[in-house]
């Protein structure tokens, strides 16, 4: 497998992670918006933390994808 093919496979993997994180963020946001009145405070705090860390991880994955795209362009 050439270096270009490896980078393309790595890009494909991280793109899937990126879109899975998007789905998770929308799922958590939807759950939070429909259950914030009835849920326990500890659960709401935990959900908020999951939401924040998912967004932070999304930003990290986005930067990784941009770096891989630039590396592919240099090959």
Rounded distance, CA 25 to CA 7, Å? 27
pLDDT digits (tens, 9 = 90+) for 8-63: 999 999 999 999 999 999 999 999 999 989 999 999 999 999 999 999 999 999 99
The number of CA neighbours under 13 Å toward the Cβ of 46 is 5
Place 75 in a pLDDT band, splitting at 50, 70 and 90.
confident
Q: Is the dihedral of CA 18, 20, 25, 26 positive or negative?
A: positive
């Amino acid at each position: 497998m050439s270096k270009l093919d490896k980078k393309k496979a790595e890009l494909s993997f991280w793109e899937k992670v990126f879109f899975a994180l998007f789905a998770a963020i929308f799922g958590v946001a939807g759950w939070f918006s429909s259950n914030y009145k009835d849920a326990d405070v500890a659960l709401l705090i935990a959900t908020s933390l999951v939401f924040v860390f998912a967004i932070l991880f999304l930003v990290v994955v986005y930067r990784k994808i941009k770096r891989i795209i630039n590396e592919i362009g240099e090959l």
